[in-house]
């Protein structure tokens, strides 16, 4: 096997490294012992989007960067090295965007996807529950259909990005063996 990086991968990592050292590290250092405020984090996510951070997993035809997973992993490795909290927020946000892309309804895609990919919206994943952890198959939170949508009953915890998110992807049980996610503002 050849484990050498391609020229494109080396250029992508080096470009991100130079940018992040100059633009991301100073902001992260200022907030070393505090939560980065939502408006500041959105500004950072917007600046990282052209590098494929926050949108790399979504294909280009859907508005993402369409990166392969190796390149995306290399870029995240670099941003986590420089600013772990920014990397974590971007990773969770990209996970939310990918869920909307893969599982969202046409309405959810038109309402949320572009904003998540651009860094204008911050998403979070509400999966973990007391006594269950982060095993999605074991969630007990229920979504019950009503005339206007669904009523969600349950308890979630450890929601990364939860305090600064604009919307949550809530994993719920919709039947004895059925799981769904709901985008909740």
pLDDT tens readout for residues 90-116:
999 999 999 999 999 999 999 999 999
List Cα–Cα distances, 147 to 104, 150, 156, 174, 175, in angstroms: 20, 8, 25, 15, 17
Nearest alpha-carbon partner for 79 in 28, 39, 30, 32: 28
Kindly report the pTM of this predicted structure: 0.92
Q: What is the pLDDT of residue 181?
A: 74
Q: Which helix (H) or strand (E) holds 170?
A: strand 167-173
């Amino acid at each position: 096997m050849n484990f050498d990086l391609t020229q494109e991968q080396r250029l992508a990592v080096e470009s991100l490294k130079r940018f992040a050292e100059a633009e991301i590290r100073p902001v992260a250092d200022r907030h070393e012992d505090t939560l980065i405020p939502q408006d500041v984090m959105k500004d950072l996510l917007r600046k990282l989007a052209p590098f494929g951070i926050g949108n790399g997993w979504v294909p280009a035809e859907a508005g993402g960067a369409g990166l392969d997973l190796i390149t995306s992993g290399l870029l995240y490795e670099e941003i986590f090295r420089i600013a772990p909290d920014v990397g974590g927020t971007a990773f969770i946000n990209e996970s939310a965007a990918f869920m909307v892309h893969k599982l969202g309804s046409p309405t959810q895609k038109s309402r949320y996807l572009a904003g998540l990919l651009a860094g204008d919206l911050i998403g979070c994943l509400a999966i973990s529950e007391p006594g269950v952890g982060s095993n999605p198959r074991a969630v007990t939170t229920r979504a019950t259909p009503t005339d206007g949508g669904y009523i969600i009953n349950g308890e979630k915890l450890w929601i990364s990005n939860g305090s600064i998110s604009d919307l949550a992807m809530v994993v719920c049980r919709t039947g004895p063996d059925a799981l769904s996610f709901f985008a909740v503002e």
